[in-house]
Structure 1
Amino acid sequence: MRAFLIAGLALAVSGCGNISNIRAYNTPYAEPAAGDTARLRVITNGMARGVPGRDCIDWRVPGSGVMAVSESGFAGQNNGRSLGMPESNRRVEAQALARTELKVPANKPFAMNFQSEGHVSAGYSYSCKQSFRFTPKAGEDYELILLESSQCLVALQRLDPTGKPENVPVEKAKLCNAMDMF
């Protein structure tokens, strides 16, 4: 039923040229085939999507797609993967977490989008939508925690070989093309 609904929605917006936005929910992120890379561990209770080589969100970029998602029915092929990264000292306590380790292109900007449907508590509905960017360095390990729990948490850390974390700032990312929001 969900696939049928998605197909119908795709047809409805195809005249607007917005198919790439819908495809971005069902296309898995593709790791770089060549060049310098860094490793990124993503831990989330929502959906994390990546855009390689960009400092803005553009789902038409080759390799763009879903990196980790906590709900079934989306492109979750990357969930649960391990590249042998060192464990951090940081423990995340939450339900329905997706966790995966992926290679990302190094020394180039990397834009990401985090979305979470949220929950209803005390009559309030919570959700989270954040777009941000950072530039991973070659050979480094990073851990990214994306959580929604009545507020959005985006926390990126570089891990040394022992797992000791060092905070890494992220910057807000915008849409590359203004028409992508329609």
Structure 2
Amino acid sequence: MKKASLLMLLSIPLFSGCSTVTGLKSYTTAYNEPQPATSSRLRVITDQTVRLVPDSQCIDWHLPGAGIVNSRSLAPLNDHTFNDRSLGIPGGDGVQNSSEIYIRPDTPITLVYAGATRKYQCVTGVHFVPEAGADYEAKSEPCGIWISKIVKNSTTGAVSREPVSSHTAKTCH
């Protein structure tokens, strides 16, 4: 009887493999930018890993396009496609640990921070709806993501950051 129970326990990963592999894919592959490129852009600054779930107000790694936008983690399978990429978003001179991507405007996007310090591990997510033609910046710190709209004064060239209203993103049900 013990052998049958053990065999059943060991076979669970085999039967759940499809959903596990699909979920794992978003942890190891890059976010899929909208094609063609849009007029809205996002700079992501982190010293850990930030993933994006497009067209969603919640976290669901099975959604099309979900994946890594910036990973500073040493994990061997994390995708680093967008690390240090610049699309010319104003105010990016001298910014370290950043990546710039195209995002779809007028639909919600969810950003998910995953990181660890000596004291704790944390996964947190927020969602917001970007405007067409706007540039944004998301900064992460342990257990938080703050989003700002980048505004460049056309007369002076000065760059300012305006806080964007974002909401906590939870796992989709």
> Which amino acid is 1:33 matched to?
Q
Aligned match of 1:102: 101
| Paired residues of 1:79 and 1:99 also in contact (CA < 8 A) | yes
| Paired residues of 2:39 and 2:132 also in contact (CA < 8 A) | yes
Q: TM-score, normalised by structure 1?
A: 0.76
The reply to whether residue 26 of structure 1 matches residue 23 of structure 2 is no
Distance 1:14 1:23, change over 3 A: farther
* Residue 103 (structure 1) shift: 0.5
Aligned match of 1:139: 133
* Residue 47 (structure 1) shift: 0.7
Which has the larger Rg?
2
Percent of residue pairs identical: 29
* Residue 130 (structure 1) shift: 0.5
Aligned match of 1:71: 73
* Residue 155 (structure 1) shift: 1.2
Unaligned segments of structure 2, at least 5 residues? 1-10, 153-157
2:102 and 2:13 mapped to 1: Cα distance? 32
> Which amino acid is 1:85 matched to?
I
Aligned match of 2:47: 45
| Paired residues of 1:88 and 1:165 also in contact (CA < 8 A) | no
> Which amino acid is 2:90 matched to?
P
Q: TM-score, normalised by structure 2?
A: 0.80
> Which amino acid is 1:56 matched to?
C
CA RMSD of aligned residues (A): 2.3
Match of 2:161 among 137, 160, 165: 165
Aligned match of 1:62: 64
Distance 1:13 1:141, change over 3 A: farther
1:24 and 1:12 mapped to 2: Cα distance? 22
Aligned length: 154
* Residue 21 (structure 1) shift: 2.3
Aligned match of 2:89: 85
Unaligned segments of structure 1, at least 5 residues? 1-10, 120-124, 178-182
Match of 1:129 among 101, 123, 140: 123
Name the SS of the counterpart of 1:60 in structure 2: coil
| Paired residues of 2:34 and 2:103 also in contact (CA < 8 A) | yes
